């Protein structure tokens, strides 16, 4: 995807900090990225890397104790610091969010149809309840729920996990938003269901022409869906590239570690998994140098002393590393995932 036209979402220097007993904990630190119309951008990272907080910050869903600075332009409108009522009208209509755990993301006491109809009528009071329920039925059909005219009147507990996540996708696209934010949409699901739900998500995105921000810790998931990938670590982007480029030619030592640690089906038996040693840094006590330095096998003195900048390496491929020029080339065949997907 090339960068012509105006981005749907332009995040610039976004920082989010939470007040704690030990001062502010910076969960997101100077994050910048663009999402073009219809494009899928994946944000990949471990727990605590700031990927979800970034999404919640855009929608104003963080608690009031969060300190949010920077800018996020959505279709030219500034979301950060926007009047809550105006932002509320954008939520669920022009930006929709899909949450991680479909088991708990629906209100247990209302029917699925009722909850999908609600997102329609709340943003367009001219739609009657009957019409909204009719549209909810069509949406359930669209995401592949069998017998939608019966299922629409059922409660969340009567749906399986995978079906609930489909219903969640149906709800998210109900108002044809221009931006979908999917926060770990398959993490809570069975592996066999994951692929189906991702297909549904891709189909739903195609149907509405929405751009998508896919937040996940699962690189394997990203390969099949995203146009571009940004790898986050310690609240910052460490590497950004088109998906294929990132998998075939990972530059940043952290991304290399991530790709190496993916288990493969065609691996010889008895070969040990290859994890990244150590733990992510605490956001309360960030190291003064590069956030990854303590776990990095290529670290030098400069990594311990000062943070690295995100710099372009080749066209459209950015990496945050002091030692980009001296890193060994990617010749390890383990780094080449078979077909970049699974």
Partner 1 sequence: MLAYALRRILQAIPIILLATVIAFFAVTWANGDPRARLATCTTCDESAYDRIVELYELDKPTYQRYVSWLGDVVTGDLGISTSQGERPVNEIFWERFRNTLLLALPAFVIVAVLSLVLSVYQAIKQYSFGDYALSAFSYFGLSMPTFFFGLVLQAIVIQLNNSFGWKFFWTQGLHDENFKELIASITLPVLTLVLISVAGETRFGRASMLEIKNSEYIRTARAKGLSERRVVFRHMLRNALIPLVTIWALDFAALLSGAVITESVFSWPGLGRMLLDGIFATDLDVVMAVVTALSIMAVLFNLFADLLYGVLDPRIRLD
Footprint on this chain of partner 1 (rule: CB under 8 A)? 59, 61, 88-93, 96-97, 99, 101, 104-111, 118-119, 122-123, 155, 157, 171
> What is the Cα–Cα distance from 236 to 222, expressed in whole angstroms?
19
Pick the closer one to partner 1 by CB: 116 or 211.
116
**Residue 271 beta carbon to partner 1: minimum distance, rounded to whole angstroms:** 38
> What is the Cα–Cα distance from 109 to 191, expressed in whole angstroms?
28
Q: Where are the beta strands (DSSP E) in the chain?
A: 9-20, 23-35, 40-44, 66-74, 77-78, 95-98, 179-183, 211-216, 228-233, 236-242, 310-314, 317-320
**Torsions phi, psi of 73, nearest 5?**
-95, 120
Pick the closer one to partner 1 by CB: 27 or 90.
90
**Residue 150 beta carbon to partner 1: minimum distance, rounded to whole angstroms:** 15
**Residue 181 beta carbon to partner 1: minimum distance, rounded to whole angstroms:** 9
**Residue 101 beta carbon to partner 1: minimum distance, rounded to whole angstroms:** 6
- DSSP per residue over 300-335, as a string? -HHHHHSPPPEEEEETTEEEE-TTGGGSPPS--GGG
**Contact present, 276 and 261 (Cβ < 8 Å):** yes
**Contact present, 59 and 52 (Cβ < 8 Å):** no
Pick the closer one to partner 1 by CB: 104 or 306.
104
Cα–Cα distances (Å) from 142 to 152, 198, 309, in that order, read 13, 14, 44
**Residue 133 beta carbon to partner 1: minimum distance, rounded to whole angstroms:** 16
**Contact present, 214 and 222 (Cβ < 8 Å):** yes
Residue 328 CB-density burial (10 A; 0-12 exposed, 13-18 middle, 19+ buried): exposed
Adjacent-strand bridge partners of 25: 18
- DSSP per residue over 64-86, as a string? TTEEEEEEEEETTEE-TT--HHH
**Residue 82 beta carbon to partner 1: minimum distance, rounded to whole angstroms:** 13
* Alpha-carbon torsion (47, 52, 57, 61), positive or negative: negative
> What is the Cα–Cα distance from 30 to 14, expressed in whole angstroms?
5
Cα–Cα distances (Å) from 2 to 11, 209, 274, 315, 316, in that order, read 18, 17, 34, 11, 9
DSSP label at residue 276: P
Pick the closer one to partner 1 by CB: 94 or 236.
94
């Amino acid at each position: 995807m090339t960068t012509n036209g105006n981005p749907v979402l332009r995040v610039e220097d976004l920082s989010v900090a939470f007040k704690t007993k030990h001062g502010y904990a910076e969960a997101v630190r100077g994050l910048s990225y663009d999402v073009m119309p219809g494009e899928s951008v994946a944000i990949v990272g471990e727990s605590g890397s700031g990927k979800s907080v970034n999404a919640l910050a855009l929608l104003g869903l963080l608690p009031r104790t969060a300190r949010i600075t920077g800018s996020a332009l959505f279709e030219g409108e500034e979301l950060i610091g926007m009047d809550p009522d105006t932002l509320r009208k954008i939520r669920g209509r022009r930006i929709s969010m899909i949450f991680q755990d479909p088991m708990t993301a629906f209100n247990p006491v209302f029917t699925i149809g009722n909850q999908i109809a609600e997102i329609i009528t709340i943003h367009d009071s001219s739609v009657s309840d009957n019409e909204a329920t009719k549209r909810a039925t069509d949406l359930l059909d669209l995401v592949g729920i069998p017998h939608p005219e019966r299922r629409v009147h059922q409660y969340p507990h009567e749906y399986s996990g995978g079906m609930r996540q489909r219903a969640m996708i149906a709800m998210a696209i109900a108002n044809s938003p221009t931006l979908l934010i999917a926060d770990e949409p398959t993490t809570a699901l069975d592996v066999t269901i994951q692929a189906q739900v991702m297909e549904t998500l891709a189909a739903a995105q195609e149907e509405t022409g929405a751009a998508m921000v896919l937040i996940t810790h699962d690189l394997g998931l990203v390969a099949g869906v995203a146009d571009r990938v940004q790898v986050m670590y310690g609240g910052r982007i460490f590497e950004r590239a088109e998906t294929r480029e990132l998998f075939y030619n990972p530059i940043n030592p952290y991304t290399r570690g991530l790709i190496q640690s993916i288990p493969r089906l065609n691996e010889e038996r008895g070969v040990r998994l290859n994890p990244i040693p150590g733990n992510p840094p605490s956001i309360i006590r960030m190291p003064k140098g590069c956030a990854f330095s303590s776990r990095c096998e290529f670290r030098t003195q400069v990594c311990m002393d000062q943070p690295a900048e995100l710099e372009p390496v080749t066209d459209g491929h950015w990496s945050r590393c002091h030692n980009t020029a001296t890193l060994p080339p990617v010749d390890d065949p383990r780094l080449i995932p078979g077909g970049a997907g699974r």
